[in-house]
Structure 1
């Protein structure tokens, strides 16, 4: 059994309400369109059969009209020849054809009403189908747009992460440069201190050597 149990269900269907209640609107819309298209094919097939039936009825009507005229002429001919019995028989045939004609005309009237209703319902169904397809296209565009926007957001997030990592790398490089300056300063300061101690050691050695020279000169 399809989504719709009756043709009128489709005609009177509120597509917006159905989509609002659906957990997956895109799938629901696809099913609605499929059901409408299949129903429209069935309606057109039924209409084609009824149109063929109408043509057959029209042929029968024309044939009966000819037969009625035929028996009318026969009745007039029989009466002109003083054959009242044949005239009555001809009129009886004419009456029978006339009754058949009335029955067929009633069927034709009902068939015309049915075809008119089918045509109106088909137009409404076609309108509903067009509406559903427009919504399907709009839903597809929204989905496509949302997908593109999500990709943009994801790329932006990756860019932000990359930018943050780059900033961290630059900050780390700055710290490395400051630490290098500190190490260079410490190294220079250490070298100056060593130089001063070496100078003191040289001065002490000179003083000792000078004292030895003075002592030697005094003894000499």
Structure 2
């Protein structure tokens, strides 16, 4: 995976409009779950790639420091050789002086090579440093996005559970709504009313039967009186006037 590819992917994911994606999703929770998995995978891959990029940058920085130190060292050696050459020249030892001048030239050449190497590495190090900073920034943005996704997913799950609980409560309330003729309580009340009406009917029927019995008794008593008086008439008995008038 190239650094530009990593940077491009991180930038794309870090700038992703989560709300727009969710608005177009048929099942937001499933979409969130998939996005969380994708972000988790990409974060792990990005962390590995960034770690490698940082490692390469640190190696380049180490080489750059070594080149600078080498240039300084060769510069010091060139100076020492040149000083030695001048000392021998002062002693009219031309051969030794030339020898140390040649050593000074070699040291200077080595110094220049180290300086060129260090200078050549500086643009690459600067570029790598910029890339690493962008990768770090993008990675942190991805982590924040993932946290946002997790929070959004948890919020949706909580809202779904709350909606389900409210629906169950509404169903329970509806089942005991006394104004609803289809509710359980209403049907139970109607059953009781019908039973009460049946009992009243039985009571009325029983009362009617009792009245009829009393009427029969009254009729029987009157008939008995008629029979008694008839028997008295036949026996030649007369009823006292007072009794007739009473």
TM-score tier by shorter-chain length is 0.7 to 0.9
Unaligned runs of 5+ in 1: 216-220
CA distance in 2 between counterparts of 1:82 and 1:69 reads 23
* 1:16, distance to aligned residue in structure 2 (A): 0.8
Aligned: 1:170 with 2:192: yes
* 2:210 counterpart residue number: 188
* 1:145, distance to aligned residue in structure 2 (A): 1.1
* 2:88 counterpart residue number: none
Q: 1:105 aligns with which of 119, 122, 142?
A: 122
CA distance in 2 between counterparts of 1:76 and 1:39 reads 55
* 2:135 counterpart residue number: 118
How well do the aligned residues superpose, as a CA RMSD in angstroms? 2.4
TM-score for both structures, normalised by structure 2? 0.75
* 1:200, distance to aligned residue in structure 2 (A): 4.4
Name the SS of the counterpart of 1:147 in structure 2. Answer: helix
TM-score for both structures, normalised by structure 1? 0.83
* Contact 2:10–2:139 (CA under 8 A) maintained in structure 1: no
* 1:26, distance to aligned residue in structure 2 (A): 0.9
Tell me the number of residue pairs that the alignment of Structure 1 and Structure 2 aligns.
211
Name the SS of the counterpart of 1:6 in structure 2. Answer: helix
Q: Where do residues 1-220 of structure 1 align in structure 2 (5 Å cutoff)?
A: 6-79=9-82, 80=85, 81-83=97-99, 84-160=101-177, 161-214=183-236
* 1:71, distance to aligned residue in structure 2 (A): 2.1
Unaligned runs of 5+ in 2: 1-7, 86-96, 178-182, 238-246
